[in-house]
Structure 1
């Protein structure tokens, strides 16, 4: 089964959490390492996801655990369940984001948010917050998300202070936005 670009992005963004949960299921002693992460997730508002993860940690594997979860939580939990069955499916926690892969998903969210789609606004704000915490070009990109939603398309304005990788990502996003806006 091939993941959508958005699902791949979600899996990659949460690869560390996915690995920690699978590891804790296979080795209960490593659950201590996972607990602070789960507590932090609860503080971030992920109570439903953490409740389901705790059920998986307690041995439940039923696909009905996915019922009622939003797209992000569903993708994370299904990655955990699949990873328990086949560790080869787990995302690489050391892989850095590929700009070519990230640009279409980001452009879709920006495009949706600019049209007032509440789910796109929600996802984009969460991603912008995560990017801002990452520092460097990612923090800069998180900082210009609202400008992109508001229609700014001048790469010189948007790329101020970014290195070559950040500039390439912004250019890719602008290219994808151009395609979306033409349709």
Structure 2
């Protein structure tokens, strides 16, 4: 089954976690590396997701694990379960999210974080950290996420020092934020 662009973005954004959980489920020696990641996620407001991951680590593979999860957590748990059945379905952590599809999803997260959604803020901080590690324009975009959450919308200020691709993404992001803020 083909994933929507948004779901594929989520899957790629969380590729490292998905792969780590599958590895830990298949090899108990790998669980030591996963433990701190799960603790941090739980403290960041991802208790439902972590609870389901712990069930998977204990051998539960029932599709009912998806019941009651939000959309993002459903994509992550589904990818873990699929990866356990067929490792070829696991996302490639090197491919990362597609920047052309990033603006709508990122705008939704920034919008939610600006309204006090703790899970969105946590997810955004993780994404900003990954973007910063990527370097170049992605690092600059990762660096402006807090300003976007705080309400900065001046394209000249936000795009300072970016190349054409980064500037294009920021402008698309501002357009999407504008749509969300009007509703």
Mark yes or no: TM-score above 0.5: yes
Other-structure match for 1:141: 144
Partners of 1:173 and 1:129 lie apart in 2 by 17
RMSD (Å) for aligned C-alpha atoms: 3.1
Aligned-pair CA distance for 1:144 = 3.4
Other-structure match for 2:96: 96
Partners of 2:12 and 2:159 lie apart in 1 by 24
Partners of 2:169 and 2:69 lie apart in 1 by 30
Partners of 1:79 and 1:126 lie apart in 2 by 20
Other-structure match for 2:46: 46
Other-structure match for 1:10: 10
Any conservation in 2 of the 1:12–1:92 contact (CA below 8 Å)? yes
Aligned residues: 176
State yes or no: 1:128 paired with 2:124.
Answer: yes
Partners of 1:169 and 1:20 lie apart in 2 by 30
Aligned counterparts, 1:7-86, within 5 A? 7-86=7-86
Any conservation in 1 of the 2:109–2:121 contact (CA below 8 Å)? no
Deviation string, structure 1 residues 63-121 (Cα, Å, up to 9, x no partner): 111111122221111110111112222111112332102123234556x65xx9x69x6
Deviation string, structure 1 residues 115-143 (Cα, Å, up to 9, x no partner): x9x69x66653443234434321323313
Aligned-pair CA distance for 1:172 = 3.2
Gaps of 5+ in 2: 133-138
TM-score, length basis structure 1 = 0.77
Q: Which moved more, 1:39-48 or 1:74-83?
A: 39-48
Partners of 1:93 and 1:8 lie apart in 2 by 12
Q: Which moved more, 1:172-181 or 1:60-69?
A: 172-181
TM-score, length basis structure 2 = 0.77
Gaps of 5+ in 1: none
Partners of 1:179 and 1:67 lie apart in 2 by 31
Displacement over 6 Å in runs of 4+: 178-182
Partners of 1:32 and 1:167 lie apart in 2 by 40
Any conservation in 2 of the 1:100–1:169 contact (CA below 8 Å)? yes
Aligned in 2, Cα 1:143/1:178: closer, same or farther, shift over 3 Å? closer
